[in-house]
Amino acid sequence: MKVRCLTLFFAIISLFGYAQATAEVQGPGKAAIASAHELATEAGLRILDQGGNAFDAAVAVSAALAVVEPASSGIGGGGFWLLHRAADDLSIMVDGRETAPAAATADMYLDEDGRVDRDLATNGPLAAGIPGAPAAWAHIAEQYGRLSLADSLAPAIELAEQGFEVDLKYQQLLNWRAHVMLRWPETAAIFMDGENVPDIGHRVIQTDLAATLRALAEQGLDGFYRGSVAERLVAGVRDQGGIWTLEDLAGYRGVEREPVRTEYRGYQLITASPPSSGGIAIAQILNIIEPFDLASLSRIERVHLLSEAMRRAYRDRALYLGDPDFVEIPYEMLLSPHYAAGLRAAIRLDRATPSGMLAADPGLLVRPESDNTTHFSLIDAEGNMVSGTLTINLPYGAAFAPPGTGVLLNNEMDDFAAAPGEPNAYGLIGFAANAIEPGKRMLSSMTPTIVMSPDRVAVIGTPGGARIITMVLLGVLDFIDGNGPESWVSMPRLHHQYQPDEISLERAAADDELKAGLEALGHEVSVRARPWGNMHGVMWDRTTGTVEAAHDPRWESGSAVVADGEAGRGGEG
Ligand code: DON
């Protein structure tokens, strides 16, 4: 497996493949979209109705989410868009991950005592990487879409101008971040109601964001990364202690990367590659568990085995993974079945391996997860698919929008290892491979994934910080077990991330017998009161022609629709 910088690579394979393969491919004949907000799903359906393909719809859904789910992703953030084009079987990951500004330094968040200053790393403009989302949208529209970027951004522009109604999720996540946002009254004026978190039903109108989106629609990349929007962004950031320059924005490049591919029980997984850690970690876990017949294990054995595999993959994440343009990632080792066999050999079925017995154990603590970031899954009638996970990191990102832009900035800089072995907001640790360097992309856990066999296809992903990887893994295993998206998105979740050395279980996944059984094997078990994740999935069964879509029941704002071509929109999936 190699990961390459692909602008050139794309041009070569697509020209050959596309011309040859177009005729024979049979799509499902109907489309499906599952996203975190019904207005975003609607935006995608509208673009499909206008003759757009899955890639146009992906731009429309992403941009609409940026407007109506501002806690989770946005034009001031980034993401990974995993595309599959049916006509020539091309799968590619569009990497719109943020980059560190040129003036960033390895110790920029350390105080005099060498401790990470969490306020600087997560709140306000110094926490923000250079946004990648607009570059990714423009690239997807231009290279893969059938409509123009302006067409696909139109629904988002309308939503920004006309406003949308505050829902429970908006409120809950803002409750958490409002005290930070109030430091910047012009930002608070957009998202709050005076000094208060708005009531449900309050209309959020984003006039400046509409103008910024319009500049992008009309001028393409230059509308955001150069000219008056860029000038306002940089002025606003620098005025409040940030370090962005016009050159940082003008120099931002989205990158196409070859996805990680792996096989498991006859299914091909196509999943996120670095600077996401997700695909490699999932491939490692699947390689470790491969010889086991999970169905024949007891529930305790199954959770134990999965946790031991997760522990080892997250250890390697901390040690080896970072931006592939900056660090040498040992892909062959990490993805090799032989390496996995070595890791497997050290797993005892009758005993937990303390994380401290594996190398690189800083023994540090985790903080609870939040559910921001967002994921959508979609398929069009031709069988083109997009799995997109997008983020501005913590809810409402850095909680700061440079005046006059409406662009709520990310706080993705916290995904770097600000100091070796110091946990970030998700309790994740890292070392040199993920140290801050100018222009570098911070390591991510976002894992948009597509799973295929000759008979069945799944498009899957979720937000959830460090837990994204294990949630996607569990969803993929459930799909491979024969279940549909309703089951993947709702199943109870379990997680191990090496440090802290504990299995965490959603309450619905935990009962006394399981807990006692795992503790008897030597595991620490923590049962979380709050559920986690917000998974959205789509499935196409080629044998029956069925298409299904499902949104995570943990948040009521999600929406999943199967649209039956001529026959209209179909029902909720
Ligand atoms: O890229 C990452 O891994 C994180 N910034 C994602 C954050 C996230 O999923 C937050 N949601 N719970």
Concatenated DSSP letters for 284-328?
HHHHHHTTS-GGGS-HHHHHHHHHHHHHHHHHHHHHH-S-TTTS-
From 373, 391, 405, 470, the catalytic residue: 373
pLDDT the model gives residue 532: 94
Mutate to test the pocket of ligand 1, among 393, 424, 429 (most ligand atoms within 8 A of CB): 393
What average pLDDT does this structure show over 132-141?
98
Q: How far is the CA of 130 from the centre of ligand 1 (A)?
A: 16
Q: What is the pTM of this model?
A: 0.93
Per-residue pLDDT of 143-189, as tens digits, reads 999 999 999 999 999 999 999 999 999 999 999 999 999 999 999 99
pLDDT the model gives residue 363: 36
What average pLDDT does this structure show over 218-228?
98
Per-residue pLDDT of 52-72, as tens digits, reads 999 999 999 999 999 999 999
Tokens of 162: 């006309």
Q: How far is the CA of 184 from the centre of ligand 1 (A)?
A: 23
The protein residue whose alpha carbon is closest to atom 1 in ligand 1 is 444
pLDDT the model gives residue 175: 95
Share of the chain above pLDDT 70, in %: 92
Distance of CA 448 to the CA centre of its chain: 6
| Long-range contacts from 517-526, C-beta under 8 angstroms, 24+ separation | 517/298, 517/299, 517/300, 518/300, 518/303, 518/304, 518/307, 518/352, 521/300, 521/304, 521/350, 521/351, 521/352, 522/351, 522/352, 522/354, 523/304, 523/307, 523/352, 524/500, 526/502
How far, in Å, CA of 171 to CA of 162, rounded?
19
Mutate to test the pocket of ligand 1, among 445, 462, 470, 497 (most ligand atoms within 8 A of CB): 445
Q: How far is the CA of 517 from the centre of ligand 1 (A)?
A: 31
- What's the full length of the chain, in residues? 573
Q: How far is the CA of 18 from the centre of ligand 1 (A)?
A: 34
Which of 333, 336, 279 lies closest to 93 in space, CA to CA? 279
Q: Does the annotation count 7 as an active-site position?
A: no
The protein residue whose alpha carbon is closest to atom 5 in ligand 1 is 393
Is pLDDT of 33 > 90? yes
Tokens 């799909």 belong to residue:
479
pLDDT the model gives residue 356: 85
Tokens of 498: 């090496």
Measured from CB, residues less than 6 Å from any atom of ligand 1 are: 369-373, 391, 393, 412, 415, 444-446, 463-465, 468
Q: Which helix (H) or strand (E) holds 458?
A: strand 456-460
How far, in Å, CA of 340 to CA of 361, rounded?
20
Q: How far is the CA of 101 from the centre of ligand 1 (A)?
A: 20
Q: Which atom number of ligand 1 is nearest to the Cα of residue 463?
A: 9
Is pLDDT of 17 > 90? no
Q: Considering the chain, what is the average pLDDT of its residues?
A: 92
Is pLDDT of 427 > 50? yes
pLDDT the model gives residue 461: 98
| CB contact at 8 A, 377 and 58 | no
Is pLDDT of 263 > 80? yes
Higher pLDDT, 427 or 73: 73
Q: How far is the CA of 79 from the centre of ligand 1 (A)?
A: 10
Q: Which atom number of ligand 1 is nearest to the Cα of residue 414?
A: 5
Per-residue pLDDT of 282-297, as tens digits, reads 999 999 999 999 999 9
Q: Which helix (H) or strand (E) holds 244?
A: none
Per-residue pLDDT of 185-206, as tens digits, reads 999 999 999 999 999 999 999 9
- Do strands 503-506 and 525-528 pair parallel, antiparallel, or not at all (unpaired)? parallel
The protein residue whose alpha carbon is closest to atom 6 in ligand 1 is 465
Is pLDDT of 401 > 90? yes
- Residue 372: pLDDT band with limits 50, 70, 90: confident
